[in-house]
Amino acid sequence: MNIKVVVVGKIKEKYFTAAIKEYEKRLSRFCKFSLVEVRDEKAPESLSSAEMEQVMEKEGDRILAKVSDREFVFALAIKGKELTSEAFAAQIKDLTTYGHSDLTFIIGGSLGLAPAVLQRADFSLSFGKFTLPHQLMRVVLCEQIYRAFMINSNSPYHK
């Protein structure tokens, strides 16, 4: 099984990088895990809605260039569906049972995801209505993916 996380931008804080590396190591017993960073689009603080769309579209093109047709894609979006950790684990288990061995998770840039990325997604996933820094969201997502594998292997980790 392959799990890929496609993200916009680079991580600046070493402690986020260290946490992600730890989850990569833990996940290695369950899957081939990769984190793919695409360049964020430089933009001034105040943008018109047309400029915002352009930024999201350019970042969206970079994201979609990293996604193949065979991948099952989860887009992280505030308006997505919220799941419990157990329901998320069950979904991953079901997907792999029914032939989806390539799962991709997408975290957009600070402006969100382009409509083209949301259209490509097979599932929009929300971690709630809180706004989290994108770098922290990477750590949270990696932990939840790891938690899903631990739930599916009946490990007491998730309790």
Cα 39 from Cα 20, distance rounded (Å): 19
To the question of whether residue 112 is assigned a binding role by annotation, the answer is no
To the question of whether residue 76 is assigned a binding role by annotation, the answer is yes
Neighbour tally for 36: CB within 10 Å: 14
What's the N-to-C CA distance of the chain in angstroms?
A: 25
DSSP state letter for 153: T
Q: What are phi and psi of 14, to 5 degrees?
A: -65, -35
User: Binding site for S-adenosyl-L-methionine: which residues?
Assistant: 76, 108
Give binding residues as ranges: 76, 108
